[in-house]
A and B are shown apart, each in its own frame.
Chain A
Amino acid sequence: MQLGTRKLLDRAFTALGFGSIAMMGLMLLVVLVPIVGNGIGAIVFRGTVEHRRMLYNEFHRGDAGRLKLELAESDAARSEVYGMLDRFEAEMAGMDAVRREEYRPKYEQVQGALRALLGPLPHDEAPALARLKYGQTRWDKAEERLHDLLFEKVWDYSNPDEMAKSYEVSRSAAFKGTSLVKLFPYVENNIDRLLQPRWTLYWGFITDSSIDAHFFGGVWPEIQGTLFLALGAMLFAFPLGVIAAVYFTEYARDGFLTSLLRSANSTLAGVPSIVFGLFGLTFFINTLKVSESKSVLAGSLTLALMILPTIIRSAEEAILAVPKTYKEASLGLGATKWHTIITVILPAALPGILTGGVISLGRAAGETAPIIFTAAVSVGSDIGLADVFSSPTQALSWNIYNLASEHEAAAEIRHVQYGMVLALISIVMLLNMTAIILRARISKKLKG
């Protein structure tokens, strides 16, 4: 082959490597950017007066005086809207039966759209579900609801060979000639007065409990559950892992038994996470009966088994990285082996061991499959530290799945899902960042 071609191939080869790495970085960005962007939207958004009313009623938070003023202004605008509805109802009562029946379904649609936008209408019975008690709390959603009020989605089935196509028609056209026609431009023009949008920093998303299956409120119970599970897993796995690592590095002699134990370790590392869940269910809950059914304890134990191999491996590496001279010096001064391990080797290896521990903590916090059968529930009361032995808990990872895949109004609460994913990723990434920084420090220290 010619030299030119060989060099070109060489360049192409290098480019392939760069491309792969760039793809990985790109993937990370593609996943993280929308999650972070939309997730922040769960905390910082333009909240409407309905949001503040909800906060005041459900969480007793907010400036009562200011809320009153806002509500007064909003009510003034709303009474105008409701007045129009009343007038149209009166008008309808005067119509002949055929025309009335023609208008009724369309009018009910308008009523429904108004409820979604502004909350229950004056003559409605008080609704039971919190989500129906309030209008749109978020401005971005309110704009969508406004659009629903102004336009009707109609499906075109005229061509049977293709999929039906949808197009939109203005609702006001349907009410041409009636008094209701004025309602649409009025709402459109006065939407700011009706809902009073304001930029809101909703810290409560992190610290509040949720109301009505995550329609309102925050994700604190999930965060707390995640922390309980992950810390509980560490509580079991960390000491065991470090002790096992000490055995492997300082005591084990090369031989069949040691290699068998090491194989067991890597086998455990390779077990699929869902199988840990099965094992947790059949062993901790059905056989040992550590709790009656799902509990934080059972979940933590299951997660502990899952992260144990990682902790052992990283602790082993950290201990092996401690210069042999430390050990010699200590033994040379007349310390026993055990004393040397406790006072010299483990302190020197501690940052490395912690790095592994922190990464494992992140893994335990982010893992879902092992806790599905052992600890996680989608709804439940907020649990305290005393309940961990008997109660299941909500957890970020599980609830992300649950809200995104099984919630009856998953599309309505995307912002909550994004917020939850952001919370989970923040926890995991913070832990990993800590680990990365910790490790950079160690390598700097070892270099001197």
Chain B
Amino acid sequence: MTPSPEATSSPNRSAREFYLPPERRKVEGGGVPHVSAKNFSIYYGEFEAVKKVSADIPAKYVTAIIGPSGCGKSTFLRSINRMNDLLPNCHTTGSLMFDGQDVYGKFTDEVLLRKKIGMVFQKPNPFPKSIFDNIAYGPRLHGIRDKKTLDGIVEKSLRKAALWDEVCDRLDKNALGMSGGQQQRLCFARTLAVEPEILLLDEPTSALDPKATAKIEDLIQELRGSYTIMIVTHNMQQASRISDSTMFFYEGRLVEHASTAQLFTNPKDQMTEDYITGRFS
């Protein structure tokens, strides 16, 4: 899972220094561009929802995407694991590379891609199955049938999602009976069970109460360093609390991308400043 030394020593290395926020602890092997977009645009039919975005997402750090609603931040996030393929008339131009491979290439298997890029959605969406089956769904998909192995994966994933202690005695209960916050952590665990490299979080706390939100934020901090995390959020405090770098989208364009510390204290762009100071939203 660790990026090979070749990657670390690639010409893009400078990104590492640029993104690393000085006040945060460094992550070993982190900072290389894990996902990089070049002039990447997304269209819904004629409408250009994301306009010529170029950016490098540092590996193993948390990148927040902020911006007013309808600015294309969710679209951009969902394009990384090609969830936008579900929409008719959606197509892209430019390039989006993940691990040096073209996400929208001719020979890309989107199923394998999604296995490596997990996603957690706005509203907790556990399947109407038992907790165990929810988490085992992914591993089973990818061919693991052995009960013992599955048991191990389920426990490991639940522990990673800080949910094991709460549910270990009722794994066979329907997942829909859990609280909203638990459901969302279950969705994290379910995603972790497939062992992705990247976690895409599409406003994962917007449907939760403050307590559950805090738990999810703690969880994200736990996972930082092991996974590349991208989180779309409406909540700027949240972005500044948990992310290492932040991207600001406005009307489909990437306005500014900088380390979180810099973006929130010393934004380069007037629009960014207006947004983070609440002059428009």
Contact = CB atoms under 8 A, between A and B. Distances in A.
State yes or no: do A and B touch (Cβ within 8 Å).
yes
Interface of A: 253-254, 323, 325-336, 339, 343-344, 347-348, 445, 448
B115 A343 contact: no
A334 B125 contact: no
A183 to B, nearest CB: 77
B127 A332 contact: no
A334 B127 contact: no
30 contacts: A325-B121, A326-B125, A326-B128, A328-B125, A329-B127, A329-B190, A330-B127, A331-B83, A332-B81, A332-B83, A332-B114, A332-B119, A332-B191, A333-B137, A333-B138, A333-B141, A333-B190, A333-B191, A333-B194, A334-B115, A334-B116, A334-B138, A334-B194, A335-B111, A335-B141, A336-B111, A344-B127, A348-B127, A348-B128, A448-B176
Contacts, number: 66
Contacts of B81: 332
Contacts of A347: 128-129
B114 to A, nearest CB: 4
Nearest to A333: B138
Nearest to B126: A329
Interface string B133-166: 0000110011000000000000000000000000
B141 A328 contact: no
Nearest to B140: A343
A329 B127 CA distance: 8
A323 B137 CA distance: 18
Given A329-B127, A332-B191, 6 more contacts: A325-B123, A328-B119, A329-B187, A329-B190, A332-B114, A333-B137
A344 B88 CA distance: 21
Contacts of B116: 334
B112 interface: yes
Given A335-B141, A336-B111, A339-B141, A327 B191 contact: no
A323 B138 CA distance: 19
Contacts of B126: 329
A328 B114 contact: no
B108 to A, nearest CB: 13
A359 B150 CA distance: 40
A156 B226 CA distance: 106
B252 interface: no
Given A325-B121, A325-B125, A334 B111 contact: yes
A253 B88 CA distance: 8
A333 B114 contact: yes
A329 B121 contact: yes
A328 B187 contact: no
A36 to B, nearest CB: 38
A327 B141 CA distance: 14
B204 interface: no
Contacts of B31: none
A333 to B, nearest CB: 4
A328 B194 contact: no
A329 B125 CA distance: 7
A271 B176 CA distance: 43
B201 to A, nearest CB: 11
Contact of A327 (B86, B111, B114, B128): B86
A445 B128 CA distance: 10
Given A332-B81, A332-B119, A332-B191, A343 B111 contact: no
Contact of B137 (A327, A330, A336, A448): A330
Most buried by A among B115, B123, B125, B126: B125
Contact of A334 (B128, B142, B176, B187): B142
Given A343-B137, A448-B176, A333 B125 contact: no
A326 B176 CA distance: 12
Interface in B76-115: 81, 83, 86, 88, 111-115
B90 to A, nearest CB: 13
B86 A332 contact: no
A288 to B, nearest CB: 39
A251 to B, nearest CB: 11
A334 B141 contact: yes
B127 A333 contact: no
Contacts of A331: 83, 86, 114
Contacts of B176: 448
